[in-house]
């Protein structure tokens, strides 16, 4: 590859413009030196700044205005809270201090822990709203004022209207008060089961309930009168025929959280046969008992191949049919030419993916470079085919990402692109965006540059194949010692990662092995190989370069952000780890290496699994945002997704922004798109969570089907969740997760300690703890819902011990809520 500092200028551009473009594409790899830390502003300076602003101002923007770094934001938030309290006291009538909103009132309660970068400060009240280049929180209205009566009372009345929103682990309804205007989150109401002969409460239904406080923000509720409420737009379930009279049958929901069944009147069953998975619409109905529904679509038969993924697709509302217009656009796609692109076809780039991978959108290559390494990462040029505002683009935005099931993929793009022109097939020319990176021997990046090119993959390799060859000292026939060079560069990047102090959490993955008929043959753990980590390190490096480049170009960036744990979670972790002799620094000084250091120190100790699980649960959730708050887990100040535009819309946006900033041709980010970045970030974060839930749901159903033939068998397991209603356990053999109801535990009054993740019997002294090894008996397996019910096998309890002995069997007789 020519060692130019940037791509060739388009034909016809002037020398001056070409020089300017080359200068802009030249990129010094290391981050620019930052100025010295600025002092924290005084109260008077902060008040003057807020008074000059219009609308709501985020704490990030305040920190940026005063030149504060990330470590000073905690102190800034404390100062803002102090000003807020002072303003409330100054503005409230005598005797009613802290009652109203102030000019610096936060978007949420000051004592409610929120991720850094999610809060706002209301500046001097103005009717106008400010809109920055990437959008600000000023475009969003303040939440409604909370009634002073609710703040004073701080509790629900004895009778209130509540709406059912789900069920607990035992299937009993959970509700929230309608029209809640009190401080903090709405209380949770644990509804008692309906009387005999009454239909179960369904999500969306509203009732007038008698309430009894259980402590904190929890209440017990009993139905006084059913009011009705919003019925689901669609019902997903299994049709069971054999009805009598005017009823043709019933629909049993596939969601184990929904207990209410639906009746199907005669003539409303359509072409459904018993055992069919169906979609139905609720019908108007009155009186008691199950509500009626009309079947509108038959999806397949229970037990058929692909029925599990069909249930999950429809249960989570995942779009799985492309509009005809989008398909036509994809079919018109053709290959790219070398015109206007940098020719990388002489470089033997290779793809390395899993054996079951269905698309190949990244390729890598490495060689020694003086005393360091040169690494090229090439990514499929999806932006060439999916243009802003096209039918393909609108559908990709709606999907947000691809969804992967054991038997199929619901792709973000039609197959003509995802498995065709945007898949880096070996020995075929493909368009790409690439980043050429230089690292020293210690893995520190010294330079990088981006370009738009044409490439030809030299080989399609798998992780297992590469690992076997590396272990055996083979080269797989790759030219120039490429495999050895890839591992050499990986070693340097790995050393830099360890110095950086990233959070290394062990999250095992499972693979479902299906036979030709779609039946589960086995569920096995996915191995964690160095070849996996090699590709991960190369992709992380490319993602960092993309974020840095867009900042340098002053282009909008869709960051991948991961906030530090909230103050509330950190306090819980601090108390929990303190019991084992570990300490954490103050909230403002927390670093991923603080957690990694603890995990290293507990390696091999009995409490290793417990501490690992607790630290994992204490972390924040990663998301997409046009505002950068860094990536806590990777210990990186800036990070974006660049490497998978076939399956993630966020990566496509990053490609378009790079094309615009570097003037690389067609398919660049448009201003209308950039203005929608805040909305798009929220949307694709939600679609990512939706996909994760659907994939996890499918795995649970496949596991339930696999375990259905083993009801009555015993398994070694670990406690994976502790609730006031019972225990969640995970089987060590295959990762199947299920529930142990509280009613099956010994008859006792059980105390749930949320901070320590324990359930303790006050009379027996039995204590069940997160990650504790147990032996369980499988009692129920329901593939239709993915539900597994276990019983613990245990013997005589020992008074006040850390855990029970595990012999014999026992069953409790009562279930209580404390």
Residue 132 pLDDT > 50, yes or no? no
pLDDT tens string 100-125: 333 333 333 333 233 333 333 333 33
Q: Among 529, 505, 527, which residue's Cα sits nearest to residue 609?
A: 505
226 and 287 Cβ atoms separated by less than 8 Å: no
- Give the residues across from 640 on adjacent strands: 559
pLDDT at 333 over 70: yes
Q: Which of 73-82, 103-112, 664-673 has the lowest average pLDDT?
A: 103-112
Q: How far apart are CA 543 and CA 66, in angstroms?
A: 29
pLDDT band at 171 (very low <50, low <70, confident <90, very high): low
Q: Residue 406, by phi and psi: left (phi above 0), alpha (psi -120 to 50) or beta?
A: alpha
Cβ atoms 478, 526 nearer than 8 A? no
**pLDDT exceeds 70 at position 444:** yes
pLDDT 10s digits, 1-49: 433 333 333 344 444 344 444 444 444 444 433 344 567 788 778 877 7
User: Which pair of structure tokens corresponds to residue 50?
Assistant: 């807020």
Residue 768's alpha-carbon distances to 168, 575, 754, 791, in angstroms, are 19, 19, 12, 13
SS3 assignment, position 765:
coil
Look-up: residue for tokens 């600025």? 38
Residue-level pLDDT at 349:
97
| 8 Å CB contact between 276 and 304 | no
Closest CA to 437 of 539, 579, 578: 539
DSSP-derived 3-state class of residue 350: strand
Q: What is the mean pLDDT of residues 431-450?
A: 97
Predicted TM-score (pTM) of the model is 0.70
Q: Which of 622, 623, 684 is nearest to 653 (CA)?
A: 684
Q: What is the pLDDT of residue 484?
A: 95
Residue 428 confidence (pLDDT): 95
- All residues at 6 or more sequence positions from 369 whose CB lies less than 8 Å from its CB, including other chains: 438, 439
Q: What is the DSSP secondary structure assignment for residue 133, as one 8-state letter?
A: T
Closest CA to 505 of 608, 596, 384, 590: 596
Residue appearing with tokens 């209130």:
160
Per-residue DSSP letter, 800: T
Summary mean pLDDT of the chain: 80
pLDDT band (50, 70, 90) for residue 267: confident
The partner residues of 132 in beta bridges, in order of sequence, read none
* pLDDT score for 431: 97
The per-residue pLDDT for range 717-752, each reduced to its tens digit, is: 999 889 888 999 999 888 899 999 998 998 889 999
According to the model, what pLDDT value does residue 569 have?
87
> Does residue 183 have a pLDDT over 80?
no
What is the structure's pLDDT at 90?
Answer: 56
b/e for 116-141, b at 16 or more Cβ within 10 A?
bbbbbbbbeeeeeebeeebbbbbeee
Q: Which residue has the tokens 């929230």?
A: 176
Question: Does residue 67 or residue 805 have the better pLDDT?
Answer: 67
d(CA 158, CA 45) in angstroms, rounded, equals 48
Per residue in 187-204, pLDDT (tens digit) is 889 998 887 666 677 777
Residue in the block written with tokens 């490319």: 542
Residue 189, CA distances (Å) to 1, 173, 340, 726, 728 in order: 65, 8, 63, 18, 22
The answer to whether the CB of 626 falls within 8 A of the CB of 678 is: yes
Residues 129-150: what's their mean pLDDT?
32
Among the listed ranges 120-129, 364-373, 655-664, which one has the minimum average pLDDT value? Answer: 120-129
Dig out the tokens for 611 from the structure: 């501490």
Q: Report pLDDT for 107.
A: 33
Predicted local distance difference test score (pLDDT) of residue 746: 87
Which residues on neighbouring strands pair with residue 469, listed in sequence order? Answer: none
In the chain, what percentage of residues exceed pLDDT 70?
A: 79
Distance CA 414, CA 816 (A): 52
Question: How many CA atoms lie less than 13 Å away from 6 in the CB half-sphere?
Answer: 21
DSSP per residue, 241-281: E---TTEEEEEEES-TT----EEEETT-STT--TTEEEEEE
Instruction: Answer yes or no: are the C-beta atoms of 357 and 425 closer than 8 Å.
Output: no
């Amino acid at each position: 590859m020519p060692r130019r500092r940037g791509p060739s200028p388009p034909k016809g551009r002037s020398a001056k413009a070409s020089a300017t473009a080359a200068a802009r594409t030249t990129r010094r790899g290391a981050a620019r030196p930052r100025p010295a830390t600025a002092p924290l502003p005084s109260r008077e300076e902060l008040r003057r700044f807020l008074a000059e602003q219009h609308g709501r101002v985020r704490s990030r923007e305040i920190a940026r205005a005063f030149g504060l770094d990330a470590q000073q934001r905690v102190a800034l938030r404390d100062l803002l809270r102090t000003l807020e309290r002072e303003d409330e006291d100054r503005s409230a009538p005598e005797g009613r201090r802290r009652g109203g909103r102030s000019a610096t009132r936060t978007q949420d309660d000051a004592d409610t822990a929120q991720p850094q970068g999610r809060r706002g400060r209301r500046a001097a009240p103005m009717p106008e709203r400010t809109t920055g280049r990437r959008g600000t929180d000023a475009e969003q209205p303040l939440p409604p004022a909370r009634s002073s009566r609710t703040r004073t009372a701080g509790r629900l009345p004895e009778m209130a209207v509540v709406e059912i929103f789900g069920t607990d682990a035992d299937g009993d309804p959970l509700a929230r008060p309608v029209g809640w205007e009190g401080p903090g989150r709405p209380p949770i109401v644990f509804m008692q089961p309906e009387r005999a002969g009454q239909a179960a409460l369904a999500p969306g239904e509203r009732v007038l309930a008698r309430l009894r406080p259980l402590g904190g923000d929890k209440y017990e509720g009993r139905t006084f009168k059913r009011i009705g409420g919003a019925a689901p737009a669609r019902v997903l379930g299994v049709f069971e025929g054999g009805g009598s009279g005017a009823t043709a049958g019933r629909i049993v929901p596939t969601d184990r959280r929904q207990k209410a069944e639906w009746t199907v009147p005669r003539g409303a069953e359509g072409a459904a046969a018993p055992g069919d998975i169906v979609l139905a619409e609720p019908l108007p109905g009155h009186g008691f008992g199950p509500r009626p529904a009309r079947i509108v679509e038959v999806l397949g038969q229970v037990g058929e191949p692909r029925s599990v993924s069909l249930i999950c697709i429809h249960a989570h509302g995942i779009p799985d049919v492309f509009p005809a217009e989008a398909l036509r656009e994809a079919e018109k796609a053709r290959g790219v030419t070398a015109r206007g692109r940098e020719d990388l076809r002489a470089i033997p780039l290779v793809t390395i993916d899993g054996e079951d991978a269905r698309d190949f959108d990244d390729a890598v290559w490495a060689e020694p470079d003086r005393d360091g390494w040169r690494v090229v990462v090439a990514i499929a040029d999806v932006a060439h085919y999916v243009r802003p505002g096209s039918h393909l683009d609108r559908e990709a935005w709606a999907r947000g990402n691809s969804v992967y099931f054991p038997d199929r993929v619901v792709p973000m793009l039609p197959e003509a692109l995802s498995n065709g022109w945007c898949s880096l097939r070996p020995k075929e020319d493909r368009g790409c965006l690439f980043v050429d990176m230089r690292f020293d021997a210690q893995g520190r990046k010294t330079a990088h540059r981006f370009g738009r090119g044409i490439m030809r993959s030299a080989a399609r390799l798998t992780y297992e194949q590469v690992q076997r060859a590396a272990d055996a000292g083979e080269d797989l026939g790759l030219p120039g010692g490429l495999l050895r060079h890839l591992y050499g560069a990986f070693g340097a990047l790995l050393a830099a990662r360890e110095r950086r102090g990233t959070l290394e959490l062990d999250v095992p993955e499972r693979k479902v092995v299906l036979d030709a008929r779609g039946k589960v043959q086995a569920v096995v753990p996915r191995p964690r190989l160095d070849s996996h980590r090699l590709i991960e390190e190369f992709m992380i490096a490319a993602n960092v370069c993309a974020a840095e480049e867009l900042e340098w170009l002053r282009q909008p960036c869709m960051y991948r952000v991961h906030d530090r744990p909230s103050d509330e979670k950190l306090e819980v972790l601090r108390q929990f780890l303190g019991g084992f002799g570990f300490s954490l620094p103050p909230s403002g000084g927390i670093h991923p290496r603080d957690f990694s250091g603890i995990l290293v120190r507990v390696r091999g100790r009995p409490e290793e699994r417990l501490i690992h699980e607790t630290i994992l649960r204490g972390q924040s959730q990663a998301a997409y945002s046009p505002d950068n708050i860094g990536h806590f887990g990777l210990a990186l100040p800036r990070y974006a997704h660049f490497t998978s535009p076939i399956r993630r819309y966020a990566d496509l946006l990053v490609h378009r922004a790079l094309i615009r900033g570097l003037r690389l041709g067609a398919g660049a980010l448009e201003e209308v798109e950039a203005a929608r970045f805040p909305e798009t970030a929220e949307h694709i974060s939600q679609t990512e969570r939706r996909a994760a839930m659907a994939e996890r749901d499918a795995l649970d159903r496949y596991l339930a089907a696999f375990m259905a033939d083993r009801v009555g068998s015993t398994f070694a397991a670990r406690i994976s969740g502790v609730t006031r209603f019972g225990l969640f356990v995970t089987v060590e053999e295959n990762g199947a997760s299920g529930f142990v109801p509280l009613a099956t535990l010994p008859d006792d009054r059980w105390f749930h300690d949320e901070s320590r993740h324990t359930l303790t019997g006050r009379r027996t002294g039995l204590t069940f703890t997160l990650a504790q090894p147990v032996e369980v008996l499988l009692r129920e397996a329901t593939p239709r819902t993915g539900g597994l019910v276990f019983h613990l096998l245990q013997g005589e309890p020992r008074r006040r011990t850390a855990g029970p002995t595990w012999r014999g069997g026992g069953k409790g007789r009562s279930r209580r809520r404390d």
